[in-house]
Amino acid sequence: MKYKNNISTAVSLTAALVIGSCTSSFAATDWKIAGGDSEGSSQHAFGLKFVEQLEAKTNGEYTGTLFMNSQLGSEQDTVVEAGLGTLDFSILAINNVTPFSPTVGIFTLPYVIQSLDEAELLTQGEVGAELVENTVKDAGVRIVGWAYTGFRVLTNSKQPIETLEDLQQVIVRVPKNEIMIDTYKAWGGNPTPMAWSETFTALQQGVVDGQDNPYVTVDAMKFDTVQKYVTNIRYIFSIEPLIMSESVYQAQTPEVQQAIVEAGKAATKHSAEFLTANEARIKQQLIEKGMVITDPANGEKEWIEKATTAVWPKHYDSIGGKDKLNRVLRLLGRDEV
């Protein structure tokens, strides 16, 4: 892919120079950590725990400063910057890593992950370990932790959406991710690819009518002020990895590398606990703020059928082959395709 090639080339040309010159990025003990969401989000809770644990495991010699709400650029921009070694860490939606390391798209195939338990099983097991290796190779970034944010629900400002016919009446912002774009097209929808950092303003100005993100994110980003209706679709369980510049990681001592990995594991565990403890409460708060929540008609059956039959086969090659998907399905105890 174009992005992947650009990053790989840039890393190969500049990594030695950056390491050799020992710039502030490597000498600093206060690392920059980008985040696309606002304070109060799962990303923020994850980042706070990571910094806390990093400090504890390095006796205060290393810490991090969180720059939330896309202060350091769009989520996809931060992948590029981390790959170049000009940014230390970023917490971002997995779909924004996919253009640079396509095999992580297995986590954005619609209706593959159907619970928090399944998300934890895949990310923290052999599948997750393989994807860590792939992102290092493809994009020059290393996944050192996983945040869990819940199912992406559909919000909009126009009308309740229960059927695919209803969906065709609204324009929905989607990430610049081919799997998610193709999913909305399979549903007959009107997807408009847009950077996350531009989304709130686009909703506010009516450039788009809706978007999809988990309840925790809807609340943290204050989407209730520009959106009225919520549909409980469950097509993607949102996973948000913490990526680290591989060149920065390799510049550390083995002891510091171990501290980073252990801090990432602790933050991952905390993220699951944060979601479990807060999602239902946040959903109720959104109702109290005036959001109207509905479920898809017929248990989402038509949504599932169209997405899995049209989207899965189209992206077998990008995720590493049909066998890769079947391996995941077997791990989840489901039928192969």
Q: How many CA atoms lie within 13 A of 277 on its CB side?
A: 9
Angstrom distance (rounded) from CA 164 to CA 166: 5
Predicted confidence at residue 29, as pLDDT, reads 87
> What's the order of all strands across the beta sheet hosting 141-151?
63-67, 30-35, 89-91, 237-245, 141-151
294 membership: H or E segment, kind and range: strand 292-294
The residue ranges of the chain whose pLDDT is under 50 are 1-27
Q: Which pLDDT belongs to residue 158?
A: 98
Please name which of 116, 130, 122, 145 lies closest in space to residue 277, comparing C-alpha atoms. 116
3-class SS of residue 295 = coil
For residue 89, the model assigns a pLDDT of 98
Q: Domains plus CATH for the chain?
A: 2-148+239-277 (3.40.190.170), 153-236+282-331 (3.40.190.170)
Token pair belonging to 60 = 């205060």
What is the pTM (predicted TM-score) of this model?
0.90
pLDDT of residue 1: 44
Calculate what percentage of the chain has a pLDDT beyond 90.
91
- How many angstroms separate the CA atoms of 139 and 133, rounded? 10
Residue appearing with tokens 């939330």: 68
Question: In 99-116, which positions are buried (b, 16+ CB within 10 angstroms) versus exposed (e)?
Answer: bbbbbbbbbbbbbbbeeb
- pLDDT at site 108: 96
| φ, ψ at 8 (rounded to 5°) | -60, -45
* Residue among 271, 325, 9 at smallest CA distance from 144: 271
In angstroms, the CA 200 to CA 260 distance is 33
Instruction: Quote the Cα angle for 279-226-192, to 5°.
Output: 95
**Tens digits of per-residue pLDDT, 149-193?**
999 999 999 999 999 999 999 999 999 999 999 999 999 999 999
What type of residue is 120? E
Beta bridge partners of 173: 192
